[in-house]
Each structure stands twice: as structure tokens, then as C-alpha cells.
Amino acid sequence: MGGHRGFRGSGAALLAVFVLIASAAVLGCAALTSSPHGASSRSEGASAPSEGASAPTARAGEAGGEGGSASPGEVIDLTNWKLTLPVDAAGGTSGRPEEIQQPRLGAYARAPYFAVRGGGVQFRAPTNGTTTSGSRYPRSELREMAGGGARLASWSAESGTHAMVVEEAITAVPRAKRHVVAGQIHDGEDDVVTIRLEYPRLFVDHNGTAGETLTGSYVLGTRFTVRIEAGEGEIRVYYDGAAAPADRLPKKGAGLYFKAGAYTQSNCSREPACGPDDFGEVVIYRLEVTHR
């Protein structure tokens, strides 16, 4: 009888240990399957906002290097460019826009306005940003230079062939007036041709007159490539590798130069929620200029 009672006691103890082990295993599995981040992955295009959204998923401070790249100059060649920012030298929005030139530009970054983002360079211009003389709208934008950044570029549409190829994605538009310019040819007085998004229509603008539509249903975050070419008294815009130009504009005269980045076409007079969280944004993955 005494041995039988001992067997029953040992059996009860073993049963209790088994129950504890089984409970721990169940809890561990529940913790793994309930994690919101553990098994998630997104493709590059998945980070784009849904239609009608105005702000990208990446917020201020999230732009940064990838693969060791610390500055935009390691992603795109900035030798013959200068940068205009939507903030003044003190980081405010009441003074003159800060300009960054070579050689400083080569290693310069200033998140979130000008910073590495994935495999590209993020340009952001909030609607409350400071503006250049003669403009009502803020920009984080490159202006073409020459001589290694020492002097302003200036060329003629009637002499030689001048081309800018830019692969980019427009990743945010302002909430109310959802317009952003993502590239242009400018002259000494005004823009001549711009690549403009009036969401969701992406088109070529001829200094305030609508040119050809590149797509009428642009989705924020979608990469596209444009080649803007000037020569023989004409400006031609090619879209996504097409052999024939999508847009043509007769143009004579000199004093022309390229610009690329985010030129937000709204400000605090247009935006109920004007501020640093209401902005236009462009990511540039490739930027090449040739003159021949």
C-alpha cells in the first residue's frame, strides 16, 4: 500500500510539470504570432501613399543613408549643381532661403529637406517654407551650374544639344493644393518648361500653359523617367524611355539652365493645415546632364 501511494504522488508531480511546460510553449507561440512586425516585408512601391493621401509614410527624420551612403552627393553627381532650401540659414522660415554650393554641397545633407532615402535623394519643401525672391512657393531644388559648380550654367536652345535625364518619384503633395514641380528648364526670367503634377495628372507645363499629359492617373511613389532635351530651336520631353517625344515646344534664345527637385506649388495662403507636416516631396534616383 505504501508503495502504491508513493507512485500516485510521483505521477501527480510529473503531471504538474507537463502542464507547466505545455502552457509555456503555448504562450511562446502566441507571442510570436501576435507580433505586428516580425514577419512583415514591403516592396519599394508599397510605401507609397494611397490615392488622395498627401503625406508620405516616411516622416521628418526618417530619411537616411543606406548601404553606407551618408550624403546625397554619394548617390547622384552634384558637381555642377547648387541647392536652394526651403529654410533660412538659422533653420527658420522667415529669412532668405539658404543656398548650398560646391564644394560644401558635395558632402552636404539636411534631413528632411535634402537627404538620402533608400537608393535615392529626398527633396522636401513644406508649405510654410521660406521662398526665393519673385516666388510665392517653397522649394528644395537643384539649380544647374558650370565649371565644377563655380559659375551659373547658361546655354542656348539654338546651339548644341542640351539634355537632362532624371529618374524620380513624386512621393507627396500638399493636402489642399496638390501640385508639385519635379524638374524644369528655366531662363533668366521664368520657367520655360516644367514637369508638373496636379494630382493625379502628370504633365508638361509651358510657363503656365498646359502641354501634353504624361499620365492622367499618377500614383504617388511611382518611379518614372523624363528626358528634357533642348536643341535646334526646340525643347523636347521624352517620357519613360519612349523613342518619340511626348511634348515639343519651339524655343529660341539663350540663358537657359536645368533645375530638379521639389518645387511645391502651394503655401500658407492655400493650405488650412500649413506647416512642416504639409509638403511636396520628390525622390531622385538618377540625375544626368549632358551638353554637346
Arithmetic mean of pLDDT over the chain: 83
- CA atoms of 268 and 251, how far apart (whole Å): 34
Quick check: helix, strand or coil at residue 20? Answer: helix
**How far apart (Å, rounded) are the C-alpha atoms in residues 192 and 255?**
11
Helix (H, G, I), strand (E, B) or coil at 94: coil
Q: Residue 39: its pLDDT value, please?
A: 31
Predicted pLDDT at 262: 99
DSSP letter at 17 equals H
| Predicted confidence (pLDDT) per residue in 26-60, tens digit | 333 333 333 322 333 223 333 334 333 444 433 33
Please report whether residue 40 resides in a domain.
Answer: no
CB contact at 8 A, 276 and 128: yes
Residue 25 lies in a domain: no
Answer with the residue of higher pLDDT: 5 or 214: 214
11 within some domain: no
Kindly tell me if the per-residue pLDDT of 15 is higher than 80. no
Say if 34 falls within a structural domain. no
What integer is the mean pLDDT of 238-253? 97
In this structure, are residues 179 and 196 in contact, taking their beta carbons and an 8 Å threshold?
yes
The residue-averaged pLDDT of 216-221 equals 98
Return d(Cα 99, Cα 76) in angstroms, integer: 18
The amino acid sitting at 49 is P
Cβ neighbours, 10 Å, residue 65: 16
What is the spatial distance between Cα 71 and Cα 122, in angstroms, rounded to a whole number?
11
**Cα Rg of the chain (Å, integer):** 27
pLDDT at position 236:
98
pLDDT > 50? residue 6:
no
DSSP annotation of 170: E
Return the pLDDT at 69.
Answer: 52
The 3-class SS string of 209-278 reads EEEEEEECCCCCCCEEEEEEEEECCEEEEEECCCCCCCEEEECCCCCEEEEEEEEECCCCCCCCCCCCCC
Number of independent structural domains in the chain: 1
pLDDT computed for residue 108 by the predictor: 98
C-alpha distance from residue 249 to each of 59, 89, 203, 217, 227 (Å): 38, 38, 13, 23, 14
Residue 1 included in any domain = no
Mean pLDDT check: name the lowest of 58-72, 194-208, 271-285.
58-72
pLDDT of residue 135: 94
Confidence of residue 216 (pLDDT cuts 50, 70, 90): very high
The residue that leads in pLDDT, 184 or 32, is: 184
Q: State the CATH number of the domain containing residue 126.
A: 2.60.120.200
Name 291's Cβ contacts closer than 8 Å, sequence gap at least 6: 155, 160, 161, 162
What CA–CA distance (Å, rounded) separates 24 from 9?
Answer: 23
**Residue 26 within a domain:** no
Domain extent, residue 124, equals 71-291
Q: How confident is the model at residue 61 (pLDDT cuts 50, 70, 90)?
A: very low
Identity at 141, one-letter amino acid code: E
Whether 24 is covered by a domain: the verdict is no
| Residue 160 pLDDT > 60 | yes
pLDDT tens digits for 265-286?
A: 999 999 999 999 999 999 999 9
- The whole-angstrom separation of Cα 5 and Cα 140 is 84
pLDDT for res 134: 87
Report, as an integer, the average pLDDT of 209-223: 98
Of 8-12, 58-62, 146-150, least confident by mean pLDDT is 58-62
pLDDT band at 70 (very low <50, low <70, confident <90, very high): confident
Confidence of residue 66 (pLDDT cuts 50, 70, 90): very low
**CA distance to 69, 183, 219, 241, 269, per residue, from 263 (Å):** 25, 8, 18, 24, 16
Count other Cβ atoms within 10 Å, centred on residue 251.
Answer: 21
- In tens, the pLDDT along 90-144 reads 999 999 999 999 999 999 999 999 999 999 999 999 999 999 998 999 999 999 9
- 42 falls within a domain: no
pLDDT score for 67: 42
Amino acid at the residue 52: G
